Amino acid sequence: MLSENTARLLKQGAIWGFIVLELIFFSVAGHFLSLSEGAFMDLDNMLLLLKQSAPIGIIALGMTVIMINGNIDLSVGAIFALSAVVLLDSMTWPIFDGLGDWVIPVSWLLALLTGTVLGAVNGLIVWKTGVDAFIVTLGSMLGYRGLVFMYNGEQPTSELNWTLVDFAEAQFLGLHTATWFLLACTLALWLMMNKTVHGRNAYAIGDNCDAAVNAGIRVGPHMLKNFMLIGFLSALSAVVFYSESGSVNPNDGSLYELWAITAVVLGGTKLAGGSGSVISTFGGVIAIQLLRKGLGYIGSDTETVNLVIGLILIAVLYLDRQLNRKGKEELRI
Amino acid sequence: MATMTRSSITNILAKQGILIAFALFIIGFALANNRFLAVDNVLGVIRSSAILGVMALGVTFVVISGNLDLSVGSMMSFSTIVVLDLHDKLGPLMAIPAMFAMTMCLGAFIGFLVGYLKLNSLIVTLGMLSAIHGLTLTYSGGKNMDIADKQGTWFGFFGRSDILGIPVPILFFAILAILLSILLSRTPFGRKVYAVGGNGTAATFSGIPRARIVFLTYVISSFCVACAGLLQASRSLGSQNTVGQGLELEVLAAVILGGASLMGGSGTVFKTVIGVLILGFIQNGLLLVGLDFYVQYVVTWVIIILAVWLDIAAKRGRLLSPIA
């Protein structure tokens, strides 16, 4: 029987231990199996890994906040796609012709505004109607995706602005632009969740909504803010990703919600709400990306990644329940 | 008296709201386009909804027992690919039972995790969505699957032929719906599914084997998925390995539209069939009145939220939620 403290430490450190295990495993296994010459722990490889984690990572950070607050958001992939369409399309609008490269910040703002508004719509519906967030965002996942398709049919929306690409591919202190965004978001959200009233209230609401109401916390506005936040972050993720790639397919971002939730759960955040941390989610994102890269590195099919991640997710859930003495009450949505 | 009448009207609206909405839709589309209610159009709509519908029947059991199943889409891809692959290796007569056995093993595994190990169904089936997708890709080697001799096989019977003018997928869907409806509403097992979903603790105390019931709902769900895979494979006689991708959420939308609560304990097979038909007819009707194909997604979004909102509003007696 584990003591309370040991169990908590084990759980908080688990994701980092897992990352270390992955690094060791892929380095050793790669030594024997890999076809490429470079080492797995190569610095460039690790920097690239951080950059590739950014799109899902930024969304997963927002999902952590939503899940700590006791909700869930399935529409992030659709918000991601719609913001990307707005970002790329608005650069070609005739009214912005005179702006030159100043169109970039304007388009960014428009895209971020789109995401925030879409998130606010979700939040308002959840708040005002009292319908479960799972159902509301399941619906808007379909609806927002429909808007993406109505915008441009099944054609990809493309606009390549070289100034923007240069910015996205730039490296500052060795790290890529996308990585800086990911790190900045992690820091900002960590501060928000731990040092602000809003963050602490989000924990309280997720832990016990009735108690929070009785303590005088206004539950609705907090939920609304968090939905706006995840909308904003989904749009930010699109901004970071599509600044570089310059072309968005209407189906882009589908299943992102599932990847984001997987990363959050791997990081140890509870579906039931009230506990979790953005730092652990950051670990979860890195762990998934390591697994993808590592399995490719040792030459197994990329298909195996899905199988392995799925089984690890279930194993984590099982272990977590074994470690979690408090969790006798069933987790439910 | 006046309040009595008013509350009973709200009550009727809440209970039969989905049927009324469905009727209004049908009337509206029929007025807008006279081809909408033509026999071939109606049969065409039901036929193309049948695959989604068969899956929704099974998910209804899972949802009523208070759980979720997000793995049905990738499981359907799996069963489609497997039956097409085995068709050429073993012949159709052996391929079908083998595919059913393999798919139901997956369902039993999920049932074991959620029922006996009591793990959270959302995460388990999310994990299985990913895992089964990987399994399918590994099995097929990432390639599309095709039947070699498409003319010389009777395998297309389930998806392509008619009996007495009615397409076989519709008959399949109807018979399965009737059988499962009887199972859910007329047998002790069905009552126990409602009991487990309505109040799991109370069900346990009254001696209902909760774990076994949950386990069985997932086996039923995987059986329905195998049926859907059979219909899909038989209709196309060849398939991509992502054929079911994204269906899990559409299936869930149909079940919720039918009025099943995600909290468990409510919903019926009949209502789910209505939910499936609403989705199918809306899609068809919007196309017939000349709207863009993708408008249906936006309309579905609005309808799902309105349906659930009105249901909740009628239960709590006021429109807006009391959350401050």
Whether residue B258 contacts residue A130, with contact meaning beta carbons closer than 8 Å, is answered with: no
Distance between CA B152 and CA B44 in Å, rounded? 26
Contact B123 A136 (CB under 8 A): no
Among chain B residues, the shortest Cα distance to A214 is held by B324
Contact B120 A317 (CB under 8 A): yes
Give pTM, 2 decimals.
0.84
pLDDT tens digit sequence for A114-161? 999 999 999 999 998 888 888 898 889 889 988 998 887 778 887 777
Which residues are A248's β-sheet partners?
Answer: A157
Question: B-chain residues within 8 Å CB-CB of A307?
Answer: 130-131, 133-135, 138
- Give all strands (DSSP E) within chain B, no chain letters: 145-146, 162-163, 166-167, 238-239
Q: What is the DSSP string of B29-78?
A: HHHH-TTTT-HHHHHHHHHHHHHHHHHHHHHHHHHHTT-----HHHHHHH
Does residue A74 sit at the B interface (CB-CB below 8 Å)? yes
A contact test, residue of B279, B298, B311, B318 with most A CBs within 10 A: B298
Question: B-chain residues within 8 Å CB-CB of A310?
Answer: 127-134
pLDDT tens digit sequence for A240-263? 888 888 788 888 887 788 889 888
Whether residue A193 contacts residue A275, with contact meaning beta carbons closer than 8 Å, is answered with: no
Distances (CA, A) of B11 to A66, B17, B91: 34, 9, 54
Among chain A residues, the shortest Cα distance to B294 is held by A146
Q: Which of residues 201-260 of A touch B (CB under 8 A)?
A: 213, 218-220, 254-255, 258
Does residue A323 sit at the B interface (CB-CB below 8 Å)? no
For the beta carbon of residue A195, count every other beta carbon within 10 angstroms: 10
> Residue A62 — pLDDT band, cuts 50, 70, 90?
very high
Q: Residue A174, SS3?
A: coil
Question: A-chain residues within 8 Å CB-CB of B300?
Answer: 139, 142-143, 146
pLDDT at A25: 82
Helix locations, chain A, DSSP H: 4-33, 43-68, 76-90, 103-129, 133-152, 162-169, 177-195, 197-207, 209-214, 219-245, 256-266, 278-297, 303-323
DSSP 8-state symbol, B154: S
Phi and psi at B145, nearest 5°, equal: -110, 135
- Closest chain A C-alpha to B245 CA, distance in angstroms: 9
Q: Which long-range contacts (CB under 8 A, 24 or more apart) does A105-109 make?
A: A108/A239
pLDDT at A315: 84
pLDDT at A38: 66
Q: Which residue has better confidence, A170 or B228?
A: B228
Does the pLDDT value for residue A325 go beyond 60?
A: no
Distance between CA B121 and CA B41 in Å, rounded? 38
pLDDT at B59: 94
Whether residue B236 contacts residue B118, with contact meaning beta carbons closer than 8 Å, is answered with: no
Plot region of A53 (φ>0 → left; ψ -120 to 50 → alpha; else → beta): alpha
Contact B304 A258 (CB under 8 A): no
Among chain B residues, the shortest Cα distance to A140 is held by B301
ipTM given for this complex: 0.79
Structure tokens at A232: 């904003």
| Closest residue to A305, CB basis, from B124, B134, B252 | B134
| Closest residue to A142, CB basis, from B68, B200, B297 | B297
Q: Which residues, including other chains, have CB under 8 Å from residue A185's CB and lie 6 or more apart?
A: A57, A58, A61, A233, A236
Contact B134 A307 (CB under 8 A): yes
**Residue A31 burial by CB count (10 A; 0-12/13-18/19+): exposed, middle or buried?**
exposed
Which residues are A158's β-sheet partners?
Answer: A247
pLDDT at B9: 64
Determine the residue type at B32. A
| Closest residue to A306, CB basis, from B131, B263, B309 | B131
Spans in chain B with pLDDT lower than 50? 1-2
The count of residues in chain B is 324
Determine the residue type at B180. L
- Can you tell me which residue has the tokens 């992955």? A22
Helix-then-strand count for chain B, H and E: 13, 4
Contact A129 B292 (CB under 8 A): no
pLDDT tens digit sequence for A276-318? 888 889 999 998 888 888 887 777 776 777 788 888 888 878 8
